[in-house]
Amino acid sequence: MRAVVATAMLVMLGACGGEAADSNGGAGEGMTPPAAAPVEQATPAMADGATRHEVDMILDGTNYVYRPARLTIKPGDVVVFRGISGGMHNVQFWADSLPAGAAEVLQAGMTNVMAPLASNLVAEGDSVVVRFAGAPAGRYPYYCLPHQALGMVAELTVAP
Which of 126, 147, 154, 156 lies at the binding interface for Cu ion (CB under 5 A)? Answer: 147
Q: Collect all residues with Cβ–Cβ distance below 8 Å to 108 and sequence separation of at least 6.
A: 6, 10, 20, 21, 131, 133
Nearer to Cu ion, 65 or 108 (CB): 65
For the segment 13-42, give every residue that binds Cu ion (CB under 5 A): none
CB of 144 to Cu ion, least distance (A): 3
> From CA 44, how far away is CA 52, in angstroms rounded?
9
Nearer to Cu ion, 32 or 148 (CB): 148
Contact call for residues 157 and 139 (beta carbons, < 8 A)? yes
Binding status of residue 152 toward Cu ion by CB under 5 A: yes
Beta-sheet pairing, 78-83 with 52-60: parallel
Nearer to Cu ion, 89 or 131 (CB): 89
Nearer to Cu ion, 87 or 101 (CB): 87
CB of 57 to Cu ion, least distance (A): 6
Which of 39, 71, 128, 144 lies at the binding interface for Cu ion (CB under 5 A)? Answer: 144
For the segment 57-86, give every residue that binds Cu ion (CB under 5 A): 64
Beta-sheet pairing, 113-115 with 78-83: unpaired
Alpha-carbon torsion angle 2, 8, 14, 18, nearest 10: -60
For the segment 81-110, give every residue that binds Cu ion (CB under 5 A): 89
φ, ψ of residue 52 in degrees (nearest 5) = -100, 120
Alpha-carbon torsion angle 85, 123, 54, 108, nearest 10: -150
Q: Which window, 1-9, 65-73, 105-113, 152-160, contacts Cu ion (CB under 5 A)?
A: 152-160
Q: Could you list the residues that contact Cu ion (CB under 5 A)?
A: 64, 89, 144, 147, 152
